Amino acid sequence: MTKPPKSGRFRSQEWFDNPDNPGMTALYLERYQNQTFTREELQSGRPVIGIANTGSDLAPCNKIHIFLMDRIKAGIRDAGGIPMEFPVHPIQETGKRPTAALDRNLAYLGLVEVLHGYPIDGVVLTTGCDKTTPAQLMGAATVDIPAIALNGGPMLDGWYMGQRAGSGTVIWEARRLLAEGRIDYEEFMERACASAPSLGHCNTMGTASTMNAMAEALGMTLTGAAAIPAPFRERMEMAHATGRRIVDMVFENLKPSDILTRKAFENAIRTNTAIGGSTNAPPHLQAIARHAGVALHITDWQTIGFDEPLLVNMQPAGEYLGESFHRAGGVPAVMAELMKAGRLHDHVMTATGKTMGDNLAGRDSHDHDVIRPHDRPLREKAGFLVLSGNLFDSALMKTSVISDAFRDRFLSTPGAEGIFEARAVVFEGPEDYHARINDPALAIDEHTILFIRNVGCVGYPGSAEVVNMQPPDALLRAGVRHLPTVGDGRQSGTSESPSILNASPESVVGGGLAYLQTGDRVRLDLNTATMDALVDPKEWAQRQADWSAPHMENQTPWQEIYRRHVGQLSDGGCLELATAYQRVARNLPRD
């Protein structure tokens, strides 16, 4: 059954079958053969496949993987491999304080150490909740052993009173209804719980579904893996097929560096626009690219992605949820639409061992209401704008969620289309926002832009999803459901707010947002993709000279390590020193 590895010898044999060093081999062998495995199989020349398990009680979005594990292992054994499951540091988006974003790089570091330091020849990355996907793709890129991603799939569609109740999106809406006095606390909780009816990750096109679609668009999964809802039969089948496939990938020595090329990232960026993907995709893909040694710049998101159309009618940019997306054909149907229109690179290699073009042959949308044809999109030019100016070098705006009402109210002044000039109100963080948003002294009206700072990677720490600030209750009751908001933090991928976010550099490291004051005039110009504080340059320079960084308190050792080494969101929010380590599996660790 076993085929010789293309590279001559598996790295796991250096542990389990090395006659040059009987002493160490004996130590490795005796402890692994006393449980689960036998000496015969460990010395049979079969590859050891790690399964990075991200599921646990603490990580409910990924808990499905506990139940998929049997099928993954069966697939690995059926193809002649030896499965070895191990845990990944949990990253539960809705459980971890101060933010799960703090732990992406921690899980990344842990995974790199496991893949480098243990007898593993290839790995199945079990993905799902937002940061679990980039953390593991980043780790696989750094180590560069054969790797394939398998996500757990979204939850079934949520329903409340006959309406679709989408993860996160239902909460942003209920928050407004509560502030307007139209629902009470009890109904708020009922609506929220209705959106989570089964195992799985968020059923909207939030960051989880986006990042799993990105893994597929990059070529790091089997075709069609991303969109299958967690409880579906096909999810179990995909787990088995993924287990089988990783063994062949090891025999073929097909590594992340063969798949994660610049062209693969360009495909992913275009796909992200077509699915109406999360504003968290840019920092995560920037991070994966940097660890893979691929040059990708934040402005690529506009130059490559902006002109693409929105094809997927899924919340928060549209109306449907995960089940409909899967039934309509999922990611392959979207990519096939883009490919037919000549918008994707077809010759890129993927985890299937075939090119993306081959993978997508014959794939089609089965429901044009859910996945639109390329020539009949939900919206043209639906990508991110990458803004710049004196407040930041870069910040993102997701244009696919700009509603007509928002456009009419803020961006349609005759003679100044796409331009909005307003008074700034500045908050120092989410606590300050909650304490003061309803203070009449701030005089917040429709000619106000809300700013929030100190919430980036270093400032928060980890970068918080708080930029989608809700207007004051009085304004909500008057029918103003969104105000333009800006910040150096992020926002939930499930938010339909057209915020300007991920501003880099962040304020606590001296980015322009640090010098803004409540009452300043600010000008947003979507035609030139700029945003500037209209403050006299001399005055601005004086504020800069007078500025000193705020005191930041670390509550754990990791927070301090993270703050010392993390970069900006525009560069992926990586541990900067880690990006110098590439393809580390080329060198075996010392015995």
Closest CB to ligand FES among residues 158, 472: 158
Beta carbon of residue 61, minimum distance to ligand FES (angstroms, whole number)? 3
Q: Which of 492, 499, 568, 579 binds Mg ion (CB under 5 A)?
A: 492
Beta carbon of residue 130, minimum distance to Mg ion (angstroms, whole number)? 5
Q: How many helices (H) and strands (E) does the chain have?
A: 22, 16
Residue 200 contacts which entry, Mg ion, ligand FES, none (Cβ below 5-8 A, type-dependent): none
Q: Does the footprint of ligand FES cover residue 208 (CB under 6 A)?
A: yes
State which of positions 87-116 bind Mg ion (CB under 5 A): 93
Residue 492 contacts which entry, ligand FES, Mg ion, none (Cβ below 5-8 A, type-dependent): Mg ion
Beta carbon of residue 129, minimum distance to ligand FES (angstroms, whole number)? 3
Closest CB to Mg ion among residues 359, 463: 463
Residue 449: CA count within 13 A, CB half-sphere: 28
The arrangement of strands across the sheet holding 122-127 comes to 82-87, 48-53, 122-127, 147-151
DSSP codes of every residue in 169-223: HHHHHHHHHHHTTSS-HHHHHHHHHHT--SSSB-SSSSHHHHHHHHHHHHT-S-T
Closest CB to ligand FES among residues 202, 378: 202
Beta carbon of residue 65, minimum distance to ligand FES (angstroms, whole number)? 13
Q: Which of 119, 122, 206, 472 binds ligand FES (CB under 6 A)?
A: 206
DSSP codes of every residue in 491-528: --TT-----EEEEES-GGGT-GGGG--TT-EEEEETTT
Closest CB to ligand FES among residues 33, 94: 94
Q: Does the footprint of ligand FES cover residue 202 (CB under 6 A)?
A: yes
Interatomic CA distance for residues 416 and 407, integer angstroms: 12
Residue the block writes with tokens 């700013």:
451
Residue 299 contacts which entry, ligand FES, Mg ion, none (Cβ below 5-8 A, type-dependent): none
Residue 139: CA count within 13 A, CB half-sphere: 32
Residue 340: CA count within 13 A, CB half-sphere: 15
Return the amino acid letter for 295. A
Interatomic CA distance for residues 451 and 465, integer angstroms: 13
Q: Does the footprint of ligand FES cover residue 201 (CB under 6 A)?
A: yes
Q: Which of 56, 94, 355, 518 binds ligand FES (CB under 6 A)?
A: 94
Closest CB to ligand FES among residues 93, 506: 93
Q: Does the footprint of ligand FES cover residue 215 (CB under 6 A)?
A: no
> What's the burial of 37, exposed, middle or buried (CB within 10 Å: 0-12/13-18/19+)?
middle
Interatomic CA distance for residues 506 and 514, integer angstroms: 8
Site mask for ligand FES (CB under 6 A), range 10-49, x = bound = ----------------------------------------
340, 343, 346, 352 alpha-carbon torsion, rounded to 10°: -90
Q: Which of 12, 167, 352, 470 binds ligand FES (CB under 6 A)?
A: 167
Interatomic CA distance for residues 383 and 340, integer angstroms: 19
Beta carbon of residue 91, minimum distance to Mg ion (angstroms, whole number)? 11
Interatomic CA distance for residues 286 and 571, integer angstroms: 6
Q: Does the footprint of Mg ion cover residue 278 (CB under 5 A)?
A: no
Q: Which of 42, 48, 129, 385 binds ligand FES (CB under 6 A)?
A: 129
Q: Binding segment for Mg ion among 73-81, 86-94, 261-269, 314-322 (CB under 5 A)?
A: 86-94
Q: Binding segment for ligand FES among 200-208, 266-274, 292-300, 332-340 (CB under 6 A)?
A: 200-208
Residue 208 contacts which entry, Mg ion, ligand FES, none (Cβ below 5-8 A, type-dependent): ligand FES
Residue 14 contacts which entry, Mg ion, ligand FES, none (Cβ below 5-8 A, type-dependent): none
Q: Does the footprint of Mg ion cover residue 468 (CB under 5 A)?
A: no
DSSP codes of every residue in 528-564: TTEEEE---HHHHHHHHHH--PPP---SSHHHHHHHH
* 586 Cβ contact partners less than 8 Å away, ≥ 6 residues apart: 144
Q: Does the footprint of Mg ion cover residue 210 (CB under 5 A)?
A: no
- Find the radius of gyration of the CA atoms of the chain: 24
Q: Does the footprint of ligand FES cover residue 61 (CB under 6 A)?
A: yes
Beta carbon of residue 280, minimum distance to Mg ion (angstroms, whole number)? 7
Closest CB to ligand FES among residues 130, 258: 130
237 near 284, Cβ under 8 Å? no
Closest CB to ligand FES among residues 130, 216: 130
Q: How far is CA 540 from CA 271, 514, 520, 550, in A?
A: 40, 11, 11, 18
Q: Binding segment for ligand FES among 22-30, 140-148, 199-207, 259-267 (CB under 6 A)?
A: 199-207
Closest CB to ligand FES among residues 201, 372: 201
Q: Does the footprint of Mg ion cover residue 463 (CB under 5 A)?
A: no
Q: What are residue 386's DSSP bridge partners? A: 396
Q: How far is CA 421 from CA 53, 386, 497, 534, in A?
A: 49, 18, 19, 9
Beta carbon of residue 281, minimum distance to ligand FES (angstroms, whole number)? 14
Interface residues with Mg ion (CB under 5 A) are 93, 465, 492
What residues line the site for ligand FES (CB under 6 A)? Answer: 61, 93-94, 129-130, 167, 201-202, 206, 208
